[in-house]
Amino acid sequence: MNSCQSRAYLETGTAHEPSAQAEPDAGVNEAVAYLYLNGEMRRVGTYGSTSSPAAHKNDTFFSGTGVLTVLYDKSGTLIKVR
């Protein structure tokens, strides 16, 4: 995987199409703004294969030992005051 801008997003596949694998280079922690896997936005954190030190490990979407760090997501906290 070549370097990408930290404001970029990575999307692999959709719910109806096969997806590709991302392979961050060994020893690399690549940052992206958003991550979509099969059309679903993933939460902030680190992602990679089971061979990587990432917190979220998945061999379907990732291979190699590099890590992908997701910087943003659409989650948040809602506080209602009455």
Map out the domains of the chain as residue ranges.
Answer: 9-70
pTM: 0.75
Question: Cα(77)–Cα(25) distance, rounded to whole angstroms?
Answer: 35
What are the tens digits of pLDDT across the range 9-67? Answer: 667 665 555 557 787 788 889 898 999 888 889 999 999 999 999 999 999 889 999 99
Q: Is 21 exposed, middle or buried (0-12, 13-18, 19+ CB in 10 A)?
A: middle
* pLDDT value at residue 1: 47
* pLDDT value at residue 47: 95
DSSP summary character for residue 63 = -
79 pLDDT more than 60: yes
Contact between 43 and 70 under an 8 Å Cβ cutoff? The reply is yes
